[in-house]
Chains A and B, each alone.
Chain A
Amino acid sequence: MTAPLIEGRGLTLSFGSERVLDQVSLSIQAGEIMTLIGPNGAGKSTLVKTLLGLQKPDSGDVIRKNGLRIGYVPQKLAIDQVLPMTVKRFLTLTRAAARSACETVLGQVGAAHVIDAQMSSLSGGESQRVMLARALLLRPELLVLDEPTQGVDVSGQAELYRLIDDIRAELNCAVLMISHDLHLVMAKTDKVVCFNRHVCCSGIPDTVRQHPEYRSLFGVREADAIGIYTHEHDHEHDLSGHVVGDCGHDHSHDHGHSHHHHDHQKQEAETTK
């Protein structure tokens, strides 16, 4: 395996007496999609900021590949009304680019129509797309997304994740993202890191889903809030799984829910054609 793009070793950080990061070690390989999940206040954003060098850890090291090109999409960006800023100008915030290049990336994220709009006039979804487009324009090796679907409506969320997946395929970049939308993310991600001040568990989505610490972290009550109704059903599935055998997973109730849903919509769309 080649050297990782970015690696944190034993990162520890406290705010006052509160320990936010506790001996966190984590590395991202080229081309990999890593999703960071965890409850509110788990320190996910802090971890990302520490990896990016925006926050200095009390101890531990961050090792970056030399000259690593990072595209960062923050959780939200409120551009002050006092600062006039067109989308075109925002796209070239950290690096110059021709208008045609801006049009291309905006087209990629499905926001070509806003190129001359003021940033302050964009909706939540448009704003996220524009921020993504800006990061794309840098042709990053590592794309970092902090809850990319904040302020985006439900139908837009799935589309946004599909977009991120497409981008990864095209640029062949690694993606590090924080997400609450587990049911949408799980299918596309290579590695899930379940995080609550320390790395609780990590691995491919299914491994993490089975992990007891993950289960205790996203208890039944929290599950709804973060968009997985996996647990309850998974439980049943586990029980029935023994009976049904190894094909049980695909037939699991919860999985079915979202997929069915999708399928229904698709079918409806097709029949209306």
Chain B
Amino acid sequence: MMDDFLFRAVTGGVLLACVCGPFGAFIVWRRMAFFGDMLAHSALLGVALGLLIGVDVRLGMIATCLASALILAIGQRQSRIGSDTVLGMLAHSTLALGMVTLAFVQGVAVDIMAYLFGDILAVNVTDIWILAAGGSFAIAVLIWMWRPLLAVTVSPEIAAAESIPVERLRLIFMLLMALVIGMAIKIVGVLLITALLIVPAASARFFARTPEQMAIGAAVFGVASVMAGIALSWHADTPAGPSIVISAAGLFVLSSIVMMGLRRN
């Protein structure tokens, strides 16, 4: 018999992995791993602001992620400072600002570790509803703009020449990414969310022949990582978020070994 909290953890984790699969594939293709990291760091500021002004911290996280994505989109328009530098500055200054702001929040004991590494076993029903609604919204928009966004990823020039609104698609993708990461922090935490995005996608790369196969494969690997991670956490009493990431990494190593074996034959 499954315990209730375990059922919620698995449901939340599986939902998140399904959403992260296709988004992670795009993160890998567009080489935006650091972008994901930056958004996650800024989420901590959202936690602090949420507590300070008395708004739900989940809302705070999503809002700051969206704001950071917008600031970054504007920051990347200029070319005097490289975009990796802009990303680094945003990531660390929002993180620092978040920690400083937390110091002003009085009377609330904040479990920083829960935000850094996630707390999937504490996922409640509201979290799952938010994830289900936000996740299906993000996936629906991604499917809707799939072909043009992929064209932009392959060649912005071809896309623009053939009247695809390159900049608008980039911005929409960044905002969706911010939404997904804002929702994901509760489950895998600031420091591990990028792993859940890129590791399953990297594993799926070995077996995919088209972008679509890789996106779906990433979701499959993500779901497997979540299941394996929760199982590991359950049996060995390890922290859940890190266990999920370890499982994802383990699956990646396994995939590469399988692939090497296939190539040799």
Contact surface of A with B, Cβ cutoff 8 Å: 49, 52-54, 70-72, 74, 77, 79-80, 82-86, 89-90, 92-96, 118, 138, 144
Contacts and interface: CB of A to CB of B under 8 A. Distances in A.
A84 B213 contact: yes
B151 interface: yes
Given A49-B157, A74-B155, A89 B162 contact: no
6 contacts: A74-B155, A82-B31, A82-B205, A93-B151, A94-B148, A94-B151
A44 B195 CA distance: 44
A138 B162 contact: yes
Contact of A85 (B148, B162, B164, B211): B211
A173 B231 CA distance: 61
Given A84-B211, A86-B209, A93-B150, A74 B162 contact: no
Interface string B159-200: 111111000000000000000000000000000000000000
Given A93-B150, A94-B148, A94-B159, A118 B209 contact: yes
Contacts of A77: 154-155, 158
Contacts of B153: 83
Interface residues of B, number: 26
Contacts of B162: 70-72, 94, 138
A83 B158 contact: no
B161 A84 contact: no
Contacts of A71: 162
- Which of A53, A72, A96 neighbours the largest number of chain B CB atoms within 10 Å of its CB? A72
A53 B205 contact: no
A52 B156 CA distance: 12
A74 B158 contact: yes
B160 A54 contact: yes
Given A84-B209, A89-B212, A118-B209, 4 more contacts: A52-B161, A70-B162, A84-B213, A94-B147
Contacts of B212: 89
B161 A70 contact: yes
A71 B163 CA distance: 10
Contacts of B137: none
A171 to B, nearest CB: 16
B78 interface: no
Contacts of B160: 52-54
B164 A83 contact: no
A72 to B, nearest CB: 4
B35 to A, nearest CB: 15
Nearest first, the 10 closest Cβ-Cβ pairs linking A and B are A72-B161, A84-B208, A52-B161, A89-B210, A83-B29, A94-B151, A94-B162, A93-B151, A54-B160, A74-B157
Interface in B133-152: 147-148, 150-151
Contacts of B214: 83-84
Nearest to B159: A94
A232 to B, nearest CB: 38
B6 interface: no
A186 B12 CA distance: 65
A237 B155 CA distance: 46
A72 B211 contact: no
Interface in B187-240: 205, 208-214
Contacts of A138: 162
B246 interface: no
A16 B111 CA distance: 52
Contacts of B67: none
Given A70-B162, A83-B29, A94-B148, A54 B209 contact: no
